[in-house]
């Protein structure tokens, strides 16, 4: 499959995304109150979501960035997760908030949660994903918070890429089956 920008249909507009992020932030502000949070952005895909989400969070917060990759090229999950850079500070006794773009098979989420659980005894660990593609799930992983459910589509935009492109779109789109 090849994806051209002119073929993209909008799935979520910039306004829908920002409205939903504000709602998620309200829930997280209620959850944590004034407790400190370590927000972990999973690069590259979650970059836009993480930036917009944390701007709406009110508690004392530190941002960390790790880089995992599961999709090689194309649009089909390899199922293999590769830690490109998973250097993290001491997370013992911290409230950890993982910020992801999408949970698809769940392999990436499981890999990361196992890594954190095996290395740290956190105060709490929550997983927040902008998108949840439940239909593709292989691991028994559910996000604690998510923005939107999507069906079996390969989506791009707002951080999500196709062969490295389209991360800079303000909306989330997909190529319809024609």
Nearest to ligand 5GP of 93, 138 (CB atom): 138
Based on the residue annotation, tell me whether 104 is a catalytic residue of this protein. yes
How many helices (H) and strands (E) the chain has is answered by 3, 9
Assess 45 for contact with ligand 5GP (CB under 6 A): yes
Assess 70 for contact with ligand 5GP (CB under 6 A): yes
Instruction: Work out how close the CB of 160 gets to ligand 5GP at its nearest, in angstroms, rounded to a whole number.
Output: 4
- Name the pairing type of β-strands 82-85 and 61-69: antiparallel
Distance from C-alpha of 55 to C-alpha of 57, rounded to nearest angstrom: 6
* Segment interacting with ligand 5GP (CB under 6 A) among 2-10, 19-27, 88-96, 98-106: 98-106
For residue 37, which of 90, 97, 126, 122 has the smallest C-alpha distance? 97
- Torsion angle of the four alpha carbons 84, 85, 91, 96, in this order, in degrees rounded to the nearest 10: -60
Nearest to ligand 5GP of 127, 154 (CB atom): 154
Nearest to ligand 5GP of 52, 100 (CB atom): 100
Residues in the chain: 178
| Torsions phi, psi for 48 (to 5 deg) | -65, -45
Burial (CB count <10 Å: 0-12, 13-18, 19+), residue 73: exposed
Nearest to ligand 5GP of 32, 162 (CB atom): 162
* Catalytic annotation, pick one of 104, 132, 151, 161: 104
Q: Which residue in the set 3, 25, 91, 107 belongs to the binding site for ligand 5GP (CB under 6 A)?
A: 107
| Two tokens, residue 3 | 């994806």
Q: Which does 147 bind (CB under 5 to 8 A by kind): Mg ion, ligand 5GP, none?
A: none
Distance from C-alpha of 178 to C-alpha of 175, rounded to nearest angstrom: 9
Q: Which does 104 bind (CB under 5 to 8 A by kind): Mg ion, ligand 5GP, none?
A: ligand 5GP
Residues noted as catalytic: 104
Residues that bind ligand 5GP (CB under 6 A): 45, 70-71, 77, 100-109, 133, 154-156, 160-161
């Amino acid at each position: 499959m090849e994806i051209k920008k002119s073929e993209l249909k909008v799935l979520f507009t910039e306004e829908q995304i920002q409205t939903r992020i504000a709602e998620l932030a309200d829930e997280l502000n209620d959850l944590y109150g004034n407790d400190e949070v370590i927000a972990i952005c999973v690069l590259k895909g979650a970059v836009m979501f993480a930036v917009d989400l944390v701007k709406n969070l009110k508690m004392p917060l530190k941002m960390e960035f790790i880089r995992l990759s599961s999709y090689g090229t194309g649009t089909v999950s390899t199922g293999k997760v590769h830690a490109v850079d998973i250097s993290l500070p001491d997370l013992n006794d911290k409230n950890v908030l993982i910020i992801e773009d999408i949970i698809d098979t769940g392999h990436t989420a499981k890999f990361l949660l196992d890594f954190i659980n095996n290395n740290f005894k956190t105060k709490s660990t929550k997983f927040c994903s902008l998108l949840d593609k439940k239909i593709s799930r292989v691991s028994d992983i559910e996000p604690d918070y998510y923005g939107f459910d999507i069906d079996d589509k390969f989506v791009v935009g707002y951080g999500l890429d196709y062969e490295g492109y389209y991360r800079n779109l303000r909306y989330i789109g997909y190529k319809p089956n024609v």
